[in-house]
Amino acid sequence: MAVGLIHGSPDIASSAGDCVRHREFAMSHHTLLKRIRAEYLEMPGLRLKLEQAQRLCGVERTACQRVLDMLVEMKFLCVKPDGAYARLTDGADYRRPPAAKADFKAGSRSLKAS
């Protein structure tokens, strides 16, 4: 931790340093979230375990775990029984709403545009 003597207070410099580190972490966290989300959007059917996602993105395990957990909470990813992360909309775990049905009555005629 950096200790500075600005107006006799060592806390000012350390607080500023902590703030900068927090901002860098938040930006890299957001960047990682966008990166992992983009990988899943670009490759339908992608299933990655934590270790595979970590290697793919080249980040430490805890940061990768946090982002994957956030994507699960956001209902973008789900965790499969084998521990793999997959898109929630891929596979049988996601139920799509039923398709709308058109009601065509026999004998009705459509108007033609002139």
pLDDT digits (tens, 9 = 90+) for 74-90: 999 999 999 999 999 87
Note whether residue 111 is domain-resident.
Answer: no
Q: Report whether 78 contacts 88 (CB < 8 A).
A: yes
Q: How confident is the model over 31-89, as pLDDT tens digits?
A: 999 999 999 999 999 999 999 999 998 889 999 999 999 999 999 999 999 999 999 98
Note whether residue 47 is domain-resident.
Answer: yes
Distance (Å, rounded) from C-alpha 77 to C-alpha 40?
9
pLDDT value for 90: 79
Note whether residue 14 is domain-resident.
Answer: yes
Segment 85-111 shows an average pLDDT of: 69
Structural domain boundaries enclosing 33: 10-87
Geometric angle at alpha carbon 95, from 91 and 97, rounded to 5°: 135
Distance (Å, rounded) from C-alpha 55 to C-alpha 41?
18
> The CATH number of the domain where 76 resides is what?
1.10.10.10
Note whether residue 92 is domain-resident.
Answer: no
